[in-house]
Amino acid sequence: MQKKTENLLYSGGGLVAAFVILILANLVLGAARGRIDLTQGKLFTLSEGTRAVLAKLESPVKIRLYFTQGDAGVPLPIKAYGRRVEDLLAEFRQAGRGKVLVEKLDPQPDSDAEDSATLEGIEAQVTSTGEKFYLGAAVSYLDQKLALPALTPDREPLLEYDLTRAIARATATSKPVVGVMSALPVFGMPPSQFTGGQPLEPQVFVGELRRDYTVKRVSLGAERIDDDIKVLLVVHPRGIGDRAQYALDQFVLRGGKLIAFLDPNAYFDQMGGMASMGMGGGTSTGCSRPGASPSTRARWCSTCATSPERERALCRRCSRSTTTPSIPTTSRPRGSGRSLCRLPVYLPASPSKA
């Protein structure tokens, strides 16, 4: 009888000890917030760019999440998406190291939280059954406030970008300057026969850039790139002159960032009269393939070539082709020189490293 009692006490004590250990382990691991992101595309792993933005915060930034949770009329996919938003905000808060504050509000009808959502520009969304709910965020930094009026599942792949962009815009004291050089009508066109007598609006990417940057138009005949331009987009530089190409060389050598979009079959090049409107033309330089656009000339070939031998091979390939050149992609280890790519091409250029 005594032996049975001892076994019962020992077994009960073991269970209690195991229970206490589990509670302590849960508290320790919960404080550490160790997580493994197993989602496709690493949706909850913050990018280096986001971490760099958060590391530069000098004062706390507050993110107020408005999420209707108690309403039974909110669809389950929206609720699941809202929880994923909360998880991502938790990653922001952890990476911010005390500089990112997250506040969650449940804007029920006729509540203070709903009034706050309206004041901060959060929009009410409506389900297919007519139920109203809120899922949005407001970012505030000192006296600056920006709203993400409606967070929707179709933009989930861009959720981190949207949040980081809002934080960067709220904390920026001035807009960086981006230059755009192009022979195409990216800034729009006045009324003409090519536009049906109606003015052509600026292209969408120019409007998007203007939301976050001061956009400067750079002429194809520019002899110098302004010092305040840190990033320059060159879009199909048909007819660019030698002086402008030299200015681009000097811009890159002094540390400027150059992104070139080269298209040997640009749409506007196929329309007669574009050259007479100052959107094309120019003398031939570099590769001598008949009818080739200056977007594929030797000087642009040298931008993405990693050696003189590859530059010559690229130009020979260009001169033999009568259609869009197919340039073999050369693999390279991280941190080495630039690689060749298929045209039309996207070339980020920076000064060569010794």
Please give the pLDDT value at position 226. 93
Cβ(253)–Cβ(351) below 8 Å: yes
Residues 188, 245, 348, CA angle at the centre, nearest 5°?
75
Quote the pLDDT of residue 36: 66
Helix (H) or strand (E) segment spanning residue 102: strand 100-105
Structure confidence at residue 39 (pLDDT): 65
The residues near 58 (Cβ < 8 Å, ≥ 6 apart) are 171
Note the pLDDT of residue 150.
93
Q: Are the beta carbons of 330 and 340 closer than 8 angstroms?
A: yes
3-state SS assignment for residue 262: strand
Distance CA 55, CA 220 (A): 38
Per-residue DSSP letters for 189-251? B-S-GGGTTSPBPPPHHHHHHHHHSEEEE--TT-SS--TTEEEEEEE--TT--HHHHHHHHHH
List pLDDT tens digits, range 222-242: 999 999 999 999 988 888 888
Q: Which residues of the chain have pLDDT under 50?
A: 8-9, 275-294, 297-298, 302-306, 310-311, 314-354
| Cα distance between the two ends of the chain | 85
pLDDT at 346: 37
Angle formed at CA 141 by CA 137 and CA 147, multiple of 5 degrees = 25
The pLDDT value recorded for residue 10 is: 56
Q: Is the dihedral of CA 342, 346, 187, 236 positive or negative?
A: negative
Q: What is the pLDDT of residue 342?
A: 36
Whole-number pLDDT of residue 340: 34
The whole-number pLDDT of residue 109 equals 87
Record the pTM: 0.60
Cα separation, 324 vs 310, in Å, equals 18
Q: What angle do CA 252, 335, 40 make, to 5 degrees?
A: 110
In this prediction, residue 175 carries a pLDDT of 84
Confidence at residue 350, expressed as pLDDT on a 0 to 100 scale: 41
CA 105 remoteness from chain centre = 28
Domains of the chain in start order, with CATH, are: 48-171 (3.40.30.10), 177-349 (no CATH)
Confidence at residue 83, expressed as pLDDT on a 0 to 100 scale: 93
Question: What is the model's pLDDT at position 31?
Answer: 52
